[in-house]
Structure 1
Amino acid sequence: MRSKYWSAALFGASLVWAAPASAQNVKAGIDAWQRGDYAGAVAIWRPLAQAGDPDASFNMGQAYRLGRGVLVDLGTAQTWLEQAARKDHVDAQTTLGLLLFQNGNQAEGLKWLKMGSEKGDPRAMLVYGTALFNGDGVAQDPVLGYAYVSRSAAQGLEPARNTLAQMDEIIPLAQRKKGVALALQKAKTQSVAKSAPEPTQKVAQTTAPRTKIQQVAATIPTSGAWRIQLGAFSQRSSAEALFRKLSGSAPVAGRQQFLVTAGTVTRLQVGPYSSKTAASAACGTLLGRGQPCFPVAAK
């Protein structure tokens, strides 16, 4: 199973909510953000971030990532997030890891996601745990991976529950028991990171009209060296069912399914994509909808 996740719940637009008495200006910026005064919020946070306040730095990173009050600039977002992450800001470590991971810097992204996982952030635990389970970019450790994803699912993260269900189809019972025991042990020793409430307005997700999907399909390349992997299943029919479910979505529409056998599991891959960048972009869209996804080179 080489599934990768992230969704609005994983890569959320949350900002730091509770501000200590010594940093009430950070809270004032959040109040402005809630009113829709994004530029005003940024104006409050910027000098605080420049002075090294990790909460303000994290919020500046989110503003640049989302394009609220400033133009979208992922490079600047990364700079601010890293400033906060280096000061042990858990949300910044996880968000930075997700940003890097989504944009193809897997090794650096996993480094930060490991830090977030060790502090119990559910989003980080899902991605890093899945990487451990698959051996993607890290030494394979299915028991530890199962433990992290179990903890993420226990905290109510829906994509983690879906990933855990896929793992349950693959991993032997003895390893699952070890994973659960390890998860319980870590829960006692790690402080559970709680995501801050989201003060921003949620954008409703709509399904693209069929005519739009047909237009996208018409521009799809017929050859390419890259695919996206959407999961690994103990039953071939489960992989086929997932492809049918996703075949109408813009990143998948018009492309082929590839059912790749690996031991006792069947991996669902979709393609072709002309480049790793194109495959990563498709995964970014699917991950934003909660569907695990990862670019892979076609063999």
Structure 2
Amino acid sequence: MRNGLLLALVLLASASPAPAQSVRAGIDAWSAGKPDEAVAIWRPLAAKGQADAAFNLGQAYKLGRGVPADLAEAQRYYEQAAKAGHLEAQTSLGLLLFQNGNRTAALRWLKAASDSGEPRAMLVYGTALFNGDGVAEDRVRAYALVSRAAAQGLAPARATLDEMNQLIPLEERQKGVAMAQRLVNSGGPSAKPTKTAPAKVAAAPAAKPPVPGTPGPAASGAFRIQLGAFGTPAAAQRLFGQLGASLRGARMTLVPSGTMTRLQAGPYATRADAAAACAALRPQPCFPVPAR
């Protein structure tokens, strides 16, 4: 149950002498296939504290477009934008930290974005609440958050909600729906977020083609990726089938955990390879785990 740059297109200013370049000018350069030019526009704006520019630079470093791929730099720019209240940056930072094993900081940022209604953050933080994974278990709030993410059209959230419907008693689901409605009415978490930037990461489908250059699974290795915890092995197997080619031939492993079944795939030679595989599956909740 438990991981692109989609930028709005705008017209550039005329060729006459113009004021300082804007974030949108960088967006247009990026969309025109000129990432070097986009980065050159965004960098001084980010240095002046422009959150949209910092977020876009984080995306550029994560993707390795216009600059060498550098996750440490991506994290630095995401954090700058996140501290300024940029919702997509808070979510992207939380996911990156989660994949790097810093779950405490990751959940803090994901909660902040979830509290502002960012759908990917609501899905991941809601999943953590459901599993009691790094936070106290709260299935009612988990259901409220995931249901609101699903209502905003996030496909993995709809799949997760279907699984929750099989695992959570009707009374708790009803409480979750009521909580979601209260949060919407109060403008709190689950309310539709106010966009703080013209640049936005698109919500990816549950299954998508692998990102070129992403390390694939190895014949043997010390790591796997974990894709969620399910009430039945059949539910885990369904998600594995839905992810299809995105897993690039990774083998499925079902790990019993109390009354749940954890879905893992791999193996991967290194933690970095596993983290890269998770990044290619985003926004599917995913994190590296040791292969035991």
Q: Shorter-chain TM-score category?
A: 0.7 to 0.9
What is the alpha-carbon distance in structure 2 between the residues aligned to residue 67 and residue 278 of structure 1?
Answer: 16
- Pick one of 29, 36, 40 that aligns with 1:39: 36
Q: How many aligned positions are there?
A: 272
Where does residue 266 of structure 1 map in the other structure? Answer: 261
Matched position secondary structure for 1:169: helix
Unmatched 5+ stretches in structure 2: 11-18
Q: Is the 8 A contact 2:88 2:201 kept in 1?
A: no
- Pick one of 63, 68, 92 that aligns with 2:65: 68
Residue 141 in structure 1 maps to residue 138 in structure 2: yes
Counting only pairs closer than 5 Å after superposition, residues 171-182 of structure 1 correspond to structure 2 as: 171-182=168-179
Distance 1:52-1:262 versus aligned 2 partners, 3 A rule:
same
- CA displacement at 1:192 relative to structure 2: 1.8
- Pick one of 269, 286, 289 that aligns with 1:293: 286
Task: Give the AA of the match of 2:286.
Answer: C
Larger displacement relative to structure 2 (241-250 or 86-95): 241-250
- CA displacement at 1:165 relative to structure 2: 1.0
1:20-40 deviations in whole A, cap 9, x for unaligned?
xx9971111111112111111
- CA displacement at 1:113 relative to structure 2: 0.8
Task: Give the AA of the match of 1:258.
Answer: L
Larger displacement relative to structure 2 (85-94 or 118-127): 85-94
Distance 1:148-1:53 versus aligned 2 partners, 3 A rule:
same
Matched position secondary structure for 1:139: coil
Counting only pairs closer than 5 Å after superposition, residues 1-299 of structure 1 correspond to structure 2 as: 3-4=1-2, 6=3, 12-15=4-7, 25-188=22-185, 189-190=187-188, 191-193=191-193, 206=209, 219-221=219-221, 224=222, 227-243=224-240, 250=247, 253=250, 255=251, 257-260=253-256, 262-263=258-259, 265-270=260-265, 277=272, 279-285=274-280, 287-288=281-282, 291-296=284-289
Structure 1 stretches of 4+ moved >3 Å? 14-18, 194-200, 204-208, 226-253, 265-285, 290-299
TM-score (norm 2): 0.78
Q: Is the 8 A contact 1:243 1:257 kept in 2?
A: no
Identical amino acids, percent of aligned pairs: 53
1:69-95 deviations in whole A, cap 9, x for unaligned?
111111111111111111111121111
Task: Give the AA of the match of 1:30.
Answer: I
Q: Is the 8 A contact 2:126 2:143 kept in 1?
A: yes
Q: Is the 8 A contact 1:16 1:55 kept in 2?
A: no
What is the alpha-carbon distance in structure 2 between the residues aligned to residue 41 and residue 146 of structure 1?
Answer: 40
Unmatched 5+ stretches in structure 1: 7-11
Larger displacement relative to structure 2 (25-34 or 109-118): 25-34
Task: Give the AA of the match of 2:100.
Answer: N
Matched position secondary structure for 1:88: coil
1:164-214 deviations in whole A, cap 9, x for unaligned?
1111111111111111111111112235226656699x9x95479xxxx9x
- CA displacement at 1:160 relative to structure 2: 0.6
What is the alpha-carbon distance in structure 1 between the residues aligned to residue 235 and residue 241 of structure 2?
Answer: 10
Aligned CA-pair RMSD:
3.4
Larger displacement relative to structure 2 (268-277 or 135-144): 268-277
Distance 1:56-1:134 versus aligned 2 partners, 3 A rule:
same
TM-score (norm 1): 0.77
1:92-149 deviations in whole A, cap 9, x for unaligned?
1111111211222221111111111011000111111111111111111111111111
